[in-house]
Amino acid sequence: MIFNSLTFVVFFAVVLALHYAPWFSWHQKKINLLVASYLFYAAWNPPFVILLWISTVVDWWAAQWMVRSKRDSTRRAWMIISVVVNLGMLAYFKYGEFLLQNFTALAASMGIAYQPPSWDIVLPVGISFYTFATLSYTLDVYLKRAKPAQHFLDYALFVTFFPHLVAGPIMRPTELVPQFAEPRRATAHQLYFGFALIILGLFQKVVLADGFLAPVVEKVYDAREGVPMMLDAWVATLAFSGQIFCDFAGYSTTAIGVAMGLGFAMPDNFRFPYAAVGFSDFWRRWHITLSSWLRDYLYIPLGGNRHGPVRTYTALMGTMLLGGLWHGAAWTFVVWGGLHGLYLGVERWLRGKFGGWTPGPASIFALGILTYVLVNITWVFFRAKDFTVASTMLTSMAGMAANPVPMIALLPMIYAMVIVGGIVATHWAMRDKTLEIAVERTPAWLVGGLLSIMAIAVVAEQGKGSAFIYFQF
Amino acid sequence: MPSSTSSSDPPKGIVRKEGALPAGLRLTASDRPGQAQPVPTRDVPKQPWGRILAAVAVALVAGVTALELNARRLGLEAGDLDNSEVAWVKERVRSENADVAIVGDSRILFDTDLDRFEALTGTRPVQLAIHGTSALTLLEDAASNPNFRGLLIVGLADTMFFQPFDGYGEYVRRRGDFTSPSGRIGIEIDHMLQRRLAFLDSNHRLSVAAHRLDPDFRPGVEGPKHDIWKVSQVGEQRATWMWPRVEYDPEYRARTRWAWKGFKEKFPYTPQLMAKGHARAKAAVETIRARGGDVVFVRPPSAPELRVNEEAQVPRAKGWDRLIANTQSVGVHADDLPPDVQNLTLPEWSHLNRKCATVFTDAYVRRLAALTPRIRLRANAPPPLTRVDCV
């Protein structure tokens, strides 16, 4: 189920009631949470719960055997079993059709007319997220960075804990498993602030992303005919930058609020990314739990920055290409990742070249705007359903389209630009703060007023919209 | 405020670089490369949260009350259940073993009174028509339903039937996406609230209403003002009828007529496209008949203002007449009904008003009962209706 649904409202009310019911022991409450989490997942497609069980059991035993074995080769074998099982499931469900399509195209290019069987495999929601979460467990144990979980129930609950299960933040076992060791109970203020975070997250998702920004994006990116004018192409792309941020940051904020209401802490996943100056800064602020996962389990093992510049640039590009592919089984995502790899590589080279330069405030702002514009170029490949659409959009954005037509009405355009402008301005105002500090410095009447407006707007928008964009990844 | 979800002690192994992190920021995984991440820190800002949330709750109640009052002022009513993919899929499941099911576009959807149908025959048909959707798409979907062996009533507007697009019903081919347990539970909760609250109408969501304020200032753009606004109300089991405001509000009615544009937009209905449509229809009808079901066609009325353009694009001889002959089916064309059920009221030219929908249903069901043994009038069926019952 999704957070912006009435089903979830009822579900969460029941979970809260059970979690704070005085007659359950902590052990029983953990079982309640585990069962609730399986129900949360099964509410999409019940059979896919089996995949969660496979992932849980395989990684639990792999870690146990890794610790028990004395020989490195045995430890390595168990680590490889875990990686193969997890990535195997991911590859089959997420990349099977993509691989088949590419194989068919390759065969056709060699004159072989191969007709593949139809691929009717449904992508299990959240498989990319929980696969990475469980993989980090066996990899941390293998790398001797962490000890295995003491109790199977705690580990199973870590894998399945519903706030982070289907769209992150991608949690590491060391972040969550210890929290299950002792009874968790939110204070009244934590519960209330959790609700405030839920309102903020749902407002971002339901009102801003789905209600006001998505229609502007769809109008241009999903247009059946006509080439957009330069203005329309830019507005749609900027609107998408706002939509994807509000969609995903909204999910993360809601998830953090839900977990906080139950007494658990979840990590930040966004740190005002549209105020980033440079791309390494952007990736320290955008989808932090994914970028740090890729850094720790891909970039560093590939050599990181320890083996000379060539190896570093290769590792950087390889990590970003795979990061792109993680988002979706399509070459457009690979190009998106490749562009970010290129940006990071160029930035690294420039830092080496101009390492002594200290930019002033104006330069920082200019570099920040440049970063935002270049990030928007990459969003074109992220949003476009194929390269034809991406090419059309980039041509229009460059003002080089032949016979372009206007596509977005005046008022939706104004709404989109006000919202996106507001997001970017807020990110700059908050770039060196946390949300909590900003809230603390705001008068209570204003906090209450803003939350009231957001809550009413969520109800008025009704939240009957689509699932979160990141669910498809 | 220290909290049980925060940890004030820096976890072991954290790489702390003095000055690396501006004051006011907390560490995240991005600041701790290559290590097992510790339990995260989550603070609660100092605020009177109890009072703030209480104020939010009061404001929310006041806001919902205002939304509800405004909705009723606009003519929205509680009990209008809205249409949705999940609601359609729910009926699609019900149709598996139904005696009678209806497919088609918005005309048969609006123009069929399910209660009247049931009163006449003792059978309540399953309503599967979808606005803005080719009946051909839904006819083929019914053919793909191996359990359906009943009578399928295909209602169509000729131009919509032969167009090569699925229209709004493009989700029909992806109906598996709308069968999740959460979707089914969600729609039950949604309907429970919609039976009591009028403002929960997707046509009047905040963003939809805000977009409609567009002043049409930008030349060359068909803004939200040009989109179709609310035209229908939906009851239980997708029973659908015209929203009363289209009938009683001349301005709103004029706007809806304007939105249809007189069906003047010409789509190239080439001979090849028409032949393809006929072939698809024939194949689907034969599939249903081969397993013991049957298919009949109904062509609801449209006003002369639209009819002239419909006829110019898909003439009756090339569309309806050939469809009936080609599929060896029986059908009821509105033009062929008795004179006392002609010239029914079509407020926005395309759909009958609610009362006339009952009259039309009465007329076409009686005609079908004479044409096919699969529909029988009850012995105690109510007396026939005529135009005077709806004017």
Identify any residues that bridge with B126 across adjacent strands, giving them in sequence order. Answer: B101
Catalytic site includes residue A19: no
pLDDT at B9 exceeding the cut of 70 = no
Whether A175 has its CB under 8 Å from any CB of chain B: the answer is: yes
8 Å CB contact between A115 and A143: no
ipTM: 0.86
pLDDT at B267 over 90: no
CB nearest A408 (choices: B40, B55, B221): B221
Query: Angle at Cα A111 formed by Cα A109 and Cα A117, nearest 5°?
Result: 85
How much is the pLDDT for A468? 61
CA distance linking residue B43 with residue B272, whole number of Å: 68
Report the DSSP beta bridge partners of residue B100. Answer: B151
Contact criterion met (CB < 8 Å) for B45 and A407: no
Q: Domain residues of chain A, as ranges?
A: 21-184, 190-472
pLDDT value at position B7?
37
pTM for the model stands at 0.90
Strand partners, B104: B155
**Cβ neighbours of B181 in A, within 8 Å:** 42-44, 46
Mark which residues 288-317 of A lie under 8 Å from B by CB: 288-289, 291-293, 295-296, 300
Q: In this complex, do A432 and B22 lie within 8 Å of one another by their Cβ atoms? A: yes
Q: Answer whether B135's CB lies under 8 Å from B170's CB.
A: no
Q: How far apart are CA B309 and CA B262, in angstroms?
A: 7
Letter for the amino acid at A453? I
CA–CA min distance A112, chain B (Å):
31
Which residues does chain A have with pLDDT short of 70?
A: 119, 463-473
Mean pLDDT calculated for residue range B259-283: 87
**pLDDT tens digit sequence for B88-129:** 999 999 998 899 999 999 999 999 999 999 999 999 999 999
Instruction: Measure Cα distances from A327 to A95, A471, B185, B283 in Å.
Output: 11, 10, 30, 41
What pLDDT band is residue B5 in, cutting at 50, 70 and 90?
A: very low
Residue window 340-399, chain A: list those with CB within 8 Å of chain B.
none
In this complex, which of B181, B189, B202 lies closest to A43 when CB atoms are compared? B181
Residue of A333, A332, A452 lying closest to A392 (CA atoms): A332
Chain B partners within 8 Å of A205 (Cβ): none
Phi, psi of A173 (to 5 degrees): -55, -35
User: What are residue A376's phi and psi, to 5 degrees?
Assistant: -65, -35
A46–B182: do the CB atoms touch at under 8 Å? no
CA distance B248 to B334: 25
- Go through the domains of chain B in sequence order and give each one's CATH number: 98-175+230-389 (3.40.50.1110)
Contacts of B330 (CB under 8 A, 6+ apart): B296, B297, B324, B368, B371, B372
Amino acid at A73: S
C-alpha pair distances (Å), A335 with each of A321, A329, A397: 7, 12, 18
The pLDDT value recorded for residue A128 is 87
pLDDT digits (tens, 9 = 90+) for B125-143: 999 999 989 999 999 999 9
Whether A457 has its CB under 8 Å from any CB of chain B: the answer is yes
Return the pLDDT at B10: 38
Give B294's strand partners: B151
Contact B182 A190 (CB under 8 A): no
Put simply, the answer to whether A6 touches B186 (Cβ < 8 Å) is yes
Per DSSP, helices labelled H in chain B are 49-73, 85-94, 106-111, 114-121, 135-143, 158-162, 181-194, 206-211, 244-248, 250-260, 271-290, 304-313, 322-326, 354-371
pLDDT at B4: 39
Task: Specify the residue for token string 């939809």.
Answer: B208
Does the beta carbon of A464 lie under 8 angstroms from any beta carbon of chain B? yes
Sheet of B294-299, strands arranged across: B126-127, B100-104, B151-155, B294-299, B330-333
Q: Is B126 helix (H, G, I), strand (E, B) or coil?
A: strand
Q: How much is the pLDDT for A464?
A: 62
Of A171, A165, A135, nearest to A471 (Cα)? A165
Residue of B nearest to A465 (CA): B202
Please list every residue in chain A whose beta carbon sits closer than 8 Å to the beta carbon of residue B43. 434, 436
Overall residue count recorded for chain A in this entry: 473
Q: What angle in degrees, to the nearest 10, is found between the helix axes of A230-261 and A188-202?
A: 160
The three-class DSSP label of residue B330 is strand
- Of these ranges, A111-120, A202-211, B38-47, B254-263, the one predicted with the greatest mean pLDDT is A202-211
Structure tokens at A100: 């088949």
Among the partner residues A2, A185, A189, nearest to B1 by beta-carbon distance? A189
Residues of chain A contacting residue B189, judged by C-beta atoms under 8 Å apart: 6-7, 10
**Do A177 and A247 touch, CB atoms closer than 8 A?**
no
The number of beta carbons lying within 10 Å of the beta carbon of residue B215 is 10
Residue A473, pLDDT score: 56
A177 touches chain B (CB under 8 A): no
What confidence category does residue B13 fall into, taking pLDDT thresholds of 50, 70 and 90? very low
Other CB atoms within a 10 A radius of the CB of residue A359 amount to: 12
Closest-CA residue of B relative to A260 is B5
Residue-wise pLDDT tens digits, A6-43: 889 999 999 999 999 999 999 999 999 999 999 999 99
| pLDDT tens track for A122-159 | 778 888 889 999 999 999 999 888 888 989 999 999 99
Count of positions (residues) in chain B: 391
